[in-house]
């Protein structure tokens, strides 16, 4: 999960258009996160499983 230091760093880098890596919420390997600023100027941060974890879940469900 994100701690306050991650959030502060994301906001700083988001404002300066710099990338920031956060590890996958499942395997902790690949970095996957998205930032979005909504109409109220709230910064939304979403951390998701990486493509590998998402693909492996899809493969397990299809079997």
- Predicted confidence at residue 40, as pLDDT, reads 72
> Using only C-alpha atoms, what is the Rg of the chain?
14
The predicted pLDDT at position 36 comes to: 66
Long-range contacts of 35-40 (CB under 8 A, 24+ apart): 35/10
Over residues 3-55, the pLDDT tens digits come to 777 778 777 777 777 666 667 767 776 666 666 666 676 766 667 777 777 77
Tell me the pLDDT band of 57, cut-offs 50, 70 and 90. low
Confidence of residue 2 (pLDDT cuts 50, 70, 90): low
Pick from 28, 25, 44: nearest CA to 36: 44
Q: What is the pTM of this model?
A: 0.35
Q: What letters, b where the CB count within 10 A reaches 16 and e where it falls short, cover 10-45?
A: beeebeeeeeeebebbbeeeeebbeeeeeeeeeeeb
């Amino acid at each position: 999960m994100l701690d306050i230091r991650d959030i502060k760093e994301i906001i700083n880098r988001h404002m300066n258009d710099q990338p920031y890596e956060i590890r996958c919420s499942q395997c902790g390997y690949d970095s996957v996160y998205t930032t979005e600023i909504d109409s109220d100027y709230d910064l939304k941060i979403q951390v998701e499983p990486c493509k590998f974890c998402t693909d492996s879940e899809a493969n397990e469900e299809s079997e």
